[in-house]
Amino acid sequence: MQQFPDYGPERARPGNVRLDKWLWAARFFKTRALAARACELGRVRCNHQPVKPARPVRLGELLQIATEGGDFHVEVLLLSENRGPAAEAQKLYRETEASRELRLKMAAERKALRTFTPAPPTKPSKRDRRRIIQFRGRA
């Protein structure tokens, strides 16, 4: 009978990288837990299908990733389980031109929106804060 090495949940097969680990290593999310949560909420898709965090990533796959920084459409170029510097992380994927243009457009819109709703010139006084709290109905 042939013996196979024990591949438990923590020991993936050689050459396979979990999606949540790859997203963390590629610096799309600050922690693996956030990456796994995004997968569970359907914010990470492969071929327009939601994916699970433990799914292995394959070279050449196209991923759609929704983060606070915007929506990314990337192609997987390299696999890594280790988080390194940002310059190394950017070598793991290639973002599509359409995705890059859309993100820059959305950033410009957010920047323009700030000019229409300027911040107040000063902080609210104690009296103003009390009125704000009363207006919101919290106390």
Instruction: Give the pLDDT confidence of 62-82 residue by residue, as tens digits.
Output: 999 999 888 999 999 999 999
Could you tell me the residue ranges of all domains in the chain? 19-101
Q: What is the pLDDT of residue 26?
A: 95
Q: How far apart are CA 55 and CA 66, in angstroms?
A: 18
From first to last of its 139 residues, what are the pLDDT tens digits of the chain? Answer: 455 454 444 444 567 899 999 999 999 999 999 999 999 999 999 988 999 999 999 999 999 999 988 899 999 999 999 999 999 999 999 999 999 999 999 989 888 887 777 778 899 999 999 999 999 987 5
Provide Rg for the chain, Cα atoms.
Answer: 21
What is the reported pLDDT for 10?
45
Spell out the CATH class of 19-101: alpha beta
pLDDT at 8: 46
Which residue's entry shows tokens 């610096």? 27
Do 13 and 1 contact (CB within 8 A), yes or no?
Answer: no
